[in-house]
A and B are shown apart, each in its own frame.
Chain A
Amino acid sequence: MIDKRFRRALDALHDVPDGATILVSGFGEAGNPTELIHALIEQGARDLTVVNNNAGNGEIGLALLLKEQRVRKIVCSFPRGSHSHVFDELYRAGRIELELVPQGTLAERIRAAGAGIPAFYTPTGVGTEIARGKETRSFGGRDYLLETALSADFALIKAERADRWGNLLYNKAARNFAPVMAAAAKVTIVQARHVLEPGDLDPETIVTPSIFVDRIVHVPDPVRESDHLAALDKARPA
């Protein structure tokens, strides 16, 4: 019998070593696996490289992981946010390394890793600072940059519905990076709002097939980052 369910997030994350590279789903607040990140904080791994579109907001989830100084390097496209003060302070103090990657290149590097493609050429970033040090090659009279696949030890992602095999559905724009990240890590850990039995999900609508998923944690009522940010604003002296 295949059962990828873990009762506790902390157990699902037990083997994350120091120095691991971790893909974290989410765009803004949509799709952030906040409970898994909080379990990672509790678990204690440090010196991490984290890949996310952003660099955390407020003092919750990824921002809290940064605040706890567990992250050596962040790979992202847009570290600026409405409440990105934790990252901003670490960056200005030179206490976190930033690899800035154009968003489409970031998605495709992760997709390529999951698909067994070591590198690809893209028109994105030609003629800019992003091209520095990268091979440029011309196809059909247009220049392209060589970008390499971005694989990871772990992926932490959030889904709306999972079955016990790990087939996944997402909610609206919370899908974002999760499907490509699920395929690109050695171990993919999912927090899902609903966990069902095989056969409960319509096979025509499954977005991430179970082969890409290793561990599932049921988080029926995930924290809302917007509530946290509102509370943070309220607490802040006017």
Chain B
Amino acid sequence: MTGWNREEIAARAALDIPDGAYVNLGIGQPERVADLMPAGREIILHSENGILGMGASPAPGETDMELINAGKKPVTLVPGGAFFHHADSFAMIRGGHIDVCILGAFEVTCSGDIANWSSGGNAAPAVGGAMDLVAGAREVRVIMSHQTASGRPKLVEALTLPATGLGVVKRIYTELAVLDPARGGFRLVELAPGVDLPMLERATGASILAG
């Protein structure tokens, strides 16, 4: 087995969240982080649709479709959780109250630019809360696959797709590595098991800088 599977990537991202943090989880891969919270820490998950204290996925048969996450999948509420309306939810986001947000992405550059709302084709664009999150969260992290289905790098020098935000991404988790956008390239934080540097360099559209 080479690299991390989806669950391992989400667990790796969860491991970096400090005790006491307020953390927003975006749609897609980041949703899994809620199921993989590290033990022994009180971390409060925020969901843009009006939840603080979002918990893990419910047990089968206990789903409530009026308690869902940003990806519209059923979740739970932890003791101490709260509900609020959308304007309050985005006051938390835009007002700088969210410590960390974890988003999915189509492309991220070594300057920290991110594209995740428009694939540029004739499919309808969908921005959701992503532009508010990159403008307001104190730290933006990304969980993404390292390449597209057709093998094109998604970690690149310059965006080819419309930007969601510029210079905002601080850390990226993929199936191959943990990387930080750094001037001129991506700084290697950690390689996944079975992945070596040449393999990572081949899959990446910008330089890899040694940690």
Contact = CB atoms under 8 A, between A and B. Distances in A.
A91 B118 CA distance: 14
Interface residues of A, number: 53
A209 interface: no
Nearest to A110: B87
Interface stretch (A8-16, A39-47, A126-134, A194-202): A126-134
B187 interface: no
A19 interface: no
Interface in A95-111: 98, 100-108, 110-111
B126 A79 contact: yes
A173 B49 contact: yes
B68 A107 contact: no
Interface string B115-144: 000100011111111111001100000000
Of A28, A126, A180, chain B has the most CB atoms within 10 Å of the CB of A28
Interface in B99-121: 118
A13 B162 CA distance: 40
B67 interface: yes
Interface stretch (A62-70, A81-89, A148-156, A213-221): A81-89
Of B50, B89, B130, chain A has the most CB atoms within 10 Å of the CB of B50
Nearest to A81: B72
Interface residues of B, number: 40
Interface in A184-226: 207, 224-226
Q: What does DSSP make chain B's interface, helix, strand, loop or mixed? A: loop
A86 to B, nearest CB: 12
A88 B125 CA distance: 11
Interface string A167-182: 0001111111111100
B202 interface: no
B62 to A, nearest CB: 13
A186 B165 CA distance: 35
Nearest to A227: B65
A30 to B, nearest CB: 5
Contacts of A79: 124, 126
A6 interface: no
A236 interface: no
B124 A104 contact: no
Interface string B71-99: 01000010000011111011001100000
A45 to B, nearest CB: 24
A173 B64 CA distance: 10
A102 B162 contact: no
B51 interface: yes
A51 B122 CA distance: 22
A128 B72 contact: no
Interface of B: 47-51, 64-68, 72, 77, 83-87, 89-90, 93-94, 118, 122-132, 135-136, 162-166
14 contacts: A29-B65, A78-B128, A80-B124, A103-B129, A103-B132, A104-B136, A122-B94, A123-B135, A127-B163, A128-B164, A129-B118, A129-B163, A170-B83, A172-B51
Nearest 3 pairs of A and B residues by beta carbon: A104-B90, A28-B72, A104-B132
Interface of A: 27-31, 53, 55, 77-82, 87-88, 91-92, 98, 100-108, 110-111, 122-130, 170-180, 207, 224-226
